[in-house]
Amino acid sequence: MTQLYEPIPLITSTNSVNEVHLLIGTGEDSCSQTIRKAKSILKSGASPIIINPTSQSHYKKLSIEFAHDPNFKLLNRPFQLSDLTQLGRKLVSNIVDRVFINLPPNDTLLARDIHNQCIKLRIPINTFQRPEYSTFTMLPTYIDPKGSGLQISVTTNGRGYILANRIKREIVNNLPSNISEIVTNMGQLRDQIINEDHKILLNEKFFSTELSINKLGYGLDNDSWESHKFNKLIKEFEMTSKDQKLKRTRWLSQIMEYYPLSKLADITIDQLSDTMASGTTNINTNKKVTKTPTDDDDFASIPSKQQKLSPSPSSGEKVQIQLQEKETTTKSKGSISLVGAGPGSISMLTIGALHEIKTADLILTDKLVPQAVLDLIPPETETFIARKFPGNAEHAQQELLQMGLTALQNDKKVVRLKQGDPYIFGRGGEEFLFFQENGFEPIVLPGLSSSLASTVVSKIPATQRAIADQVLICTGTGRKGSLPVIPEFVRTRTTVFLMALHRSEELIDNLIKNGWDGDVPAAIVERASCPDQRVTRTKLKYVPQVIEEIGSRPPGLLVVGNAVNALIRNEYLNSLDSSSSTSKYYMEEGYKAFEINDLSKLF
């Protein structure tokens, strides 16, 4: 078969429990490398057999090192090809499970013969410094010493083990200091939810529930995670019994994706329920914690003049906020500002927004506001992240409004921090009216909307002569999950769809049925202006198929129109006309922004 592209090694995490690994030779000089490898094999649950040590001194050293380990075996004799089929487990007809060769350079012919025999027997083999005689390589790996289960491996695929090791260290050094607690806590919450919620579903004969774990990114096989379904539409007031019981599973997956990484160690099971004992999320460990009123206590601890939330809604019920009588703002010193945080990069944050962040008493933030912006919040500032998870958007919005109003009535400065611009599909207008009707006139600070900033960072001129003379910004999801009114197709228009990728199949199908050209260029823009930005160019008709193939990296949006390819060289796009499934999109990853390292220099 003709190779059409440079092969990329398939990296896997191997379960080696009870296997037998054969190590042939111990190297030229020191046998320390062999000792480390044998210890790694033992830690993996496999049994190492070392045969044909290079010298008698190596044999003595190995004998002393592993003298008391019953799973270790040392054979001080020359290797024979028959050892491959006689030293293994009975379960696999005595064939060894894996082979490592570390012979002196003058034993090249023996290494070749062992490799050829392993290929015939389908035994994975690694030959030290001889990739041509290897079917796998060992990667420089960081193993969390606290036992959380975290492992990080890096490979440069033959371009330097030292470099790969250096890159691994750089990655590890940039992890939060509490990364062990983060991994441990997320794993414990996941296990508790599965043991409680999923067992109930299985008893009720929701047989597909077992698959829902992988769909939400909890399974062992990362490649099987259907990340394009990560933000699957859940209609809050039309939730099925199964949706209700899977709620905590979905919420935990959203927290893992959106919340500040360093804060995941402190998430509790209570924060994954409709009523929370403590909902304030501290972005830094030394920030103040405030108690969030629950639906059960009916806000008894709040002065009677404050508004109340109705009890938790059941499926199909609409929650309404009982507005208190208007009061003049002269009775309170509390202030409220609706602040746009831009698309992600702090270089796109306005000076006004930064001032509000630095002077707030309470910050109510959307879960989509990126870590870089949240890191600007002073440690002593109370911070709450909206719990707008699937099936909880309306309830979470009212919870947020109540918290803001309570703080205002206690003379606090409240900042409602919103991704992008407050008024571009951010409920900014609704929030303005709510606080105004309750006696507090909000100050509104605009932010760079992701709908337009995303086109710039994606090399898409939203308007350009002879290509696009107008721009339309639409939502892909209307109230209660409905489809928006389908706009007319205009060939000279650039259309940006927000909140659309999670239901792309339904949206694109309706667009084409309403006269849209399926061959018009489209771009899937994810994590706009963030370091892990991804821009995938394709055609409108291919969008659902491409999303299913590449997965999802939320938040994302869809840009449609001829401007999408206006600045891209033709050779990158020629493959999009091919019928091959591997040529339906062109992807660009990463974004390097001008960032401000010392904010004090601005003033």
Residue 117 has pLDDT above 70, yes or no: yes
Q: What is the pLDDT of residue 278?
A: 39
Look at residue 239 and tell me whether its pLDDT is greater than 80.
no
Q: What pLDDT score does 447 carry?
A: 94
Q: What is the pLDDT of residues 8-50, one digit of tens each?
A: 888 888 899 999 999 999 988 778 889 989 999 999 999 999 9
106-110, 233-237, 308-312, 393-397 — most confident range: 106-110
Q: pLDDT: is 489 or 226 the higher one?
A: 489
pLDDT of 306 above 50: no
The arrangement of strands across the sheet holding 98-101 comes to: 73-75, 47-51, 20-24, 98-101, 125-127
What percent of the chain has a predicted confidence (pLDDT) above 70?
Answer: 76
pLDDT at 377: 94
For residue 364, the model assigns a pLDDT of 96
Please write down the HEC assignment for all residues of 537-600.
EEEHHHHHHHHHHHCCCCCEEEEECHHHHCCCCHHHHHHHHCCCHHHCCEEEECCCCCCCCCHH
In the predicted structure, residue 391 carries a pLDDT above the cut 80: no
What pLDDT, on a 0 to 100 scale, did the predictor assign at position 464? Answer: 96
- Confidence class for position 2, pLDDT limits 50, 70, 90: very low
Share of the chain above pLDDT 90, in %: 50
pLDDT of residue 91: 96
Residue 192 has pLDDT above 80, yes or no: yes
User: In the predicted model, is pLDDT for residue 580 greater than 60?
Assistant: no
Q: Is the pLDDT of residue 297 over 70?
A: no
End-to-end CA distance of the chain: 64
pLDDT at 283 over 50: no
CA dihedral of 175, 176, 180, 186, whole degrees rounded to 10: -100
Lowest mean pLDDT across 30-34, 403-407, 422-426: 30-34
- Residue 495, pLDDT > 50, answer yes
Per-residue H/E/C for 387-417: CCCCCCHHHHHHHHHHHHHHHHCCCCEEEEE
Is the per-residue pLDDT at 597 higher than 80?
no
Is 523 in a helix, a strand, or coil?
strand
Report pLDDT for 595.
Answer: 60
Average pLDDT over residues 176-181: 92
Kindly list the structural domains of the chain, giving each domain's residue range(s) and its CATH number in brackets, ordered by start: 20-138 (3.40.50.720), 176-273 (no CATH), 275-448 (3.40.1010.10), 451-589 (3.30.950.10)
pLDDT of residue 517 exceeding 50, the answer is: yes
Specify which of 51-60, 241-250, 279-288, 546-555 reaches the highest per-range mean pLDDT. Answer: 51-60
Strand partners, 50: 23, 74
Tokens of 208: 């597909």
Per-residue pLDDT, averaged over 358-386, amounts to: 91
Q: Give the per-residue pLDDT at 592.
A: 78
Please, are residues 495 and 508 in contact by the beta-carbon 8 Å criterion? Answer: no
For the segment 218-237, the average pLDDT, to the nearest whole number, is 55
Query: Residue 344: its pLDDT value, please?
Result: 87
Per-residue confidence (pLDDT) for residue 324, from 0 to 100: 41
Poorest-confidence range of 92-101, 336-345, 366-375?
Answer: 366-375
**According to the 3-state scheme, what is the secondary structure of 162-224?**
HHHHHHHHHHHHCCCCCHHHHHHHHHHHHHHHHHHHHHHHHHCCCCCHHHHHHHCCCCCCHHH
326 confidence band (pLDDT: 50, 70, 90): very low
Instruction: Sort strands 556-560 and 493-498 into parallel, antiparallel or unpaired.
Output: antiparallel
Model pLDDT, residue 118: 97
pTM above 0.75, yes or no: no
Mean pLDDT of 157-185: 88
Give the pLDDT confidence of 126-142 residue by residue, as tens digits.
998 888 999 998 888 89
Tokens of 236: 């809050």
> Do the bridges between strand 47-51 and strand 470-475 make them parallel or antiparallel, or are there none, so unpaired?
unpaired
Lowest average pLDDT, out of 69-83, 248-262, 525-539, 573-587, goes to 573-587
* Mean predicted confidence (pLDDT) in 74-85: 96
Q: For 432-440, what is the mean pLDDT?
A: 95
Strand-strand pairing, 382-385 and 586-589? unpaired
Residue 587 pairs in a beta bridge with: 536
**Helix, strand, coil percent values for the chain (each to nearest 5):** 40, 15, 45
Q: Which of 87-96, 181-190, 500-509 ranks highest by mean pLDDT?
A: 87-96
Give residue 508's pLDDT.
95
Q: Is the pLDDT of residue 176 over 80?
A: yes
- pLDDT above 50 (res 209): no
Check residue 314 and give its pLDDT. Answer: 39
If one compares 264 and 583, the residue with the highest pLDDT of the two is: 264
Once rounded to an integer, what is the mean pLDDT over residues 282-301?
37
Identify which of 4-8, 272-276, 430-434 has the greatest average pLDDT. Answer: 430-434
**Mean pLDDT, the chain, integer:** 81
